[in-house]
Structures are given as structure tokens and as C-alpha cells.
Amino acid sequence: MRALLFVFAAGAALSLSACSQARCTENSQCASSQVCVPSGICLTACQTAAQCGDEQVCNPRGVCVSGATGCAVSTDCAAGQICAPGGMCMTGGTSMVDAGPVSCGGQKFGSTATEANILIVLDHSCSMQELIAGSRSKWEIATAAVRNVTSQNTGNAKLRFGLQLFSLQPSMCNPGRIDVPVGPSTMNAISNALPANAEGNTTPIGAALSVAANSGQLTDATRANYVLLLADGMENCNGAPVTEVEGLFSRGVRTYSVGFGSDVDETRLTQMAIRGGTARASTPRYFQADSPTDLEAALAAIASGAASCDFTLTSTPPDASKLYVAIDGQFFPRDPARIAGWDYQAAGNRVTLYGPACDIVSQRPGARVSIIYGCPDDGLTERGPGGSLDAGIVETSDGGFAWPSDAGIPEIN
């Protein structure tokens, strides 16, 4: 399975066909299970909601749309809203999918990439001494990957790293402490803080996250703040990792979860990725690594996402409900749940991408993010060198979609 398959699941509120700027005119231009609706987009035909994906409904027109924001034409939307490109109900402006792409008088907002803090919370339990990949231990592989990702970003002002190890001797369920505070140029300090062997007892993931949350390392409102949790086992100290992740998220701190090896709690890691605001578009929603290559790719992808998915606006929007975000010309929905799409945070005057939107920007070189105020104006969107988002996408065996292997995206098995 690819590390960063951009699988547009039904729950992401957009079908692949709806993402394209090209309009259909007849059903033959759509996939076999889809129909061309009056707005010129292909949507899945249905009779009941059971035929649609997660979080989708079968609307009166007999097509699957997002239960929260989906539409085929503007009459599917609430009063005062239009059906914008991608099948999304948006407030204000003149309908573009009903009348074709025209300018609706929007205003492009300037933005700059937001710098990020990343606290690496690393499992130091003795199970990390287990051998994989021949004669190498998981600990040796994990510490090499941590050293690589921090060294590769040395001098990168966009990213600052810190380190916390758990658990520690001599007591069981010791949640650790901040070994290296988050700051610039911490590569050497982090490398020196990594012991030769993993000697801790048990896996207190919840308690370790509580230490991270209360450490004061992730409170800088001018930067995006992340926890990068890397563990090879399950919570076994009666902790509540998902609750801790939710608490971090409520304070504006997102959590990346990396499971290393076959003994992880997949369900809990999935919940942590979703509740932590970093759920991936593909399955699993967290990062699973089963080899040195997997782990290197996962940490590189996380670092790229942390540096690419937050944008500080150069001016404050008069009305945040009239912000619209497009990536390479495709509008994405605003998602207050912060799972798929984007959201605006008044604190820091920041737009943040989540799920598939973040995946695209962090892993597609040259992707262009357009932040527009007033109405979703097609004339103000920009495309990167890769062109439209559906160019080069291939269908996978599980019914999803992915970029082809030659797109330079690292793989995870």
C-alpha cells in the first residue's frame, strides 16, 4: 500500500469526478455507476443512502452527496447559498456550476506558510529492542529515522523539533519527560539524547501524551504545533490516548500517529489520527510502518505535511464565513470538524488544511493554494505545474484512487 495514496474516500464529501474542473454533458462521460447531473459534474447514482459512502446521503435527485455540504445544483442548497465547483454548498456569490465558470467578484487573500513545532514522542519500551529487517532492532531503525528527519530539516526555519522518550527506568509506566525542548537547530541535541538501547517498561501512551500536553512546548500561537507519536505497542498502563489527543487538539495541537510493527492497536491509532486532525486520505488513516523504508517515508511525509498545511493570512477577513480555499484550481469544503478539507482559526488568523487537502499540498510539488474572499471565484484560482488534480490519477483495486508510482510519492507496505 502506498504511504500517501490520495484515496478520495466517500466521507471526504467530494467524489473524484466532482473534483475535476471539466464539466460533463452526458452520462457516457461518467463512470458506469455515475450520472451527469445538471451542474456538469459526475455523481454516484443511488436510490438509498446505503448505496452511498460514509457520511453521504442519497438526495432527492438520486445522487450521492455529502450530508453536510453536498449539492448537484444550487436548489439543493439552503437559502442564500450556491452550489460551487466540486458539489459544495457555499454562501454568497453567483452560481458557477449552474451557469458555467464565470467570475463572481471574489478577492484573493495573501498568505504565507506557517512555521511549525514538532515534539517527537518516542516509544522507549523494551519491545523496541525486537529484531526486524534481519539483524536490526526496531529501536535502531527508529532512532536512525528520527536522526534523519531532523538532520534533513536542519536550517529549515519552517520546522522546529523537540524530543520526549517514554517509558523510562526504573519504574513501570514511567511517561518520560522532555529530553530536548522544541527549538531551532536541535538535531545534535536530539541525536545525543537517544540512548543506544530501549530499556523502558510497558507502554504508557496516554500518560506520555499528557506529559507532552502539559510541557509548555507546544503553546506558541504564531506557529503550528504538532505531536509526532511513534510507538510499537498498545497502551498497557490504563491510559486514555484518544482522550489525551482530543485535549491536545482542543488547544490547537495536532497529533500524528505512527505505528511501528505488527503489535500496534490499529483501532486506537485510527481514532487518534482522526481526533488529532491528521487523518490521512488513505487506509490506514494513521501512518503504519513495517520496515525501515516505511518508517523513513512516514517521518518524511509528516515533516512535509507539518511544513505545508498551515497558512497565515496577510490580512484579517472581514467575515470568515466568506473564505474559500482551492488547491490547483479545485475548491475544497470548509470542515469545522477538521478531518477533511480546511478550516479557519481566528487565533493566529490562519487557514489549515486537513485530510486529502493536506496530503495533496504536502506531497505534490508545486501545488498552489488559493485563498479567496467573498465568493468561490474560478478566475482567481491558480494551478501548479502538475495541472488539474485528476491528471494521472489511477483507480485502485479497492475502489479508491491514487497517484501513479512515478509521481515521486514514497511507499509504505
Dist CA 206 CA 246 (whole Å): 11
Residue 187 has what pLDDT?
A: 95
Who has greater pLDDT, 121 or 13?
Answer: 121
Residue 145 has what pLDDT?
A: 97
Q: How far is CA 303 from CA 69, 121, 123, 126, in A?
A: 31, 14, 19, 27
Sign, Cα dihedral of 291, 294, 300, 306: negative
Average pLDDT value over all residues in the chain: 80
pLDDT in tens, 8-29: 222 222 222 222 334 677 888 8
**Strand runs (DSSP E) across 185-250, as ranges?**
224-231
Query: Can the peptide bond before residue 191 be classed as cis, meaning omega within 30 degrees of 0?
Result: no
Mean pLDDT throughout 304-322? 91
Dist CA 113 CA 320 (whole Å): 19
For residue 241, give the 3-state DSSP assignment: helix
Mean pLDDT throughout 72-101? 57
114-308 has which fold? Answer: Rossmann fold (3.40.50)
Domain limits, the chain? 10-110+314-407, 114-308
Q: What is the CA radius of gyration of the chain?
A: 22
- Among 364, 365, 309, which residue's Cα sits nearest to residue 341? 309
Contact, 3 vs 301, CB < 8 A? yes
Estimate to the nearest angstrom the gap between the alpha carbon of 319 and the chain centroid: 26
In the predicted model, is pLDDT for residue 134 greater than 60? yes
Who has greater pLDDT, 311 or 56?
Answer: 311
| Cα torsion through 228, 234, 237, 243, rounded to 10 | 50
Residues in the chain: 413
In the predicted model, is pLDDT for residue 403 greater than 50? no
Q: Which three cell numbers stand for residue 393?
A: 490519477
In the predicted model, is pLDDT for residue 299 greater than 80? yes
pLDDT in tens, 22-68: 467 788 887 778 888 765 667 788 888 888 766 677 877 787 776 65
Count of beta carbons in the 10 Å neighbourhood of residue 359: 28
Question: How many CA atoms, within 13 angstroms, populate the side-chain half-sphere of residue 85?
Answer: 27
Residue 40 has what pLDDT?
A: 64
Sheet holding 116-123, edge to edge: 177-183, 159-166, 116-123, 224-231, 253-260, 287-289
The burial of 202, by beta-carbon neighbours within 10 Å (0-12 exposed, 13-18 middle, 19 or more buried), is given as: buried
Q: What is the pTM of this model?
A: 0.69
- Among 249, 218, 404, 207, which residue's Cα sits nearest to residue 339? 249
Sign, Cα dihedral of 302, 387, 342, 38: negative
Residue 385 has what pLDDT?
A: 72
Sequence-distant (6+) residues with CB within 8 A of 204 are 166, 167, 173, 174, 175, 235, 236, 237, 239
Dist CA 116 CA 283 (whole Å): 26
Mean pLDDT throughout 277-293? 90
In the predicted model, is pLDDT for residue 87 greater than 60? no
